[in-house]
């Protein structure tokens, strides 16, 4: 996920350079060139939206997994504390406790 930003930046640079080269060398009239650029911009917009959705989905999955791991760890610590208290109670003479 860390390289996504650099890939996206590279994509935008390539899109801009490609559009510039297309303007210089394309044997199209103004209307066709505008339509071509509009299509490329729409492609870039769609690409950006798809990447955004993918990153959001990955972030949600990571958050859900993190919550599950934290819940498991809290349960384990609580069980260990309960087991420790019970062991302490059983080890005390006559079952007395100061807890």
List, for residues 57-94, the tens digit of each pLDDT value.
Answer: 999 999 999 999 999 999 999 999 999 999 999 988 76
- pLDDT tens for 23-35 read 777 676 778 878 8
- Count the alpha carbons within 13 Å of 16 in the hemisphere toward its beta carbon: 5
Taking the C-alpha atoms of 18, 24, 27 and 28 in order, what is their torsion angle to the nearest 10 degrees? 70
What is the reported pLDDT for 53?
A: 94
Return the C-alpha torsion angle 20, 24, 26, 28, nearest 10. Answer: 100
CA distance 15 to 17: 6
Provide the whole-model pTM: 0.51
pLDDT of residue 44: 87
Q: Which residue from 40, 37, 50 is spatially nearest to 7, judged by alpha carbons?
A: 50
């Amino acid at each position: 996920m860390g390289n996504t930003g650099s890939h996206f930046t590279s994509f935008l640079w390539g899109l801009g350079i490609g559009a510039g080269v297309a303007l210089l060398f394309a044997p199209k009239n103004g209307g066709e060139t505008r339509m071509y650029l509009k299509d490329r911009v729409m492609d870039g917009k769609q690409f950006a939206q798809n990447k955004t959705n993918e990153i959001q989905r990955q972030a949600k999955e990571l958050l859900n997994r993190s919550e599950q791991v934290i819940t498991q760890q809290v349960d384990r610590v609580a069980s260990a504390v309960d087991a420790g208290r019970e062991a302490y109670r059983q080890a005390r003479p006559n079952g007395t406790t100061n807890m």
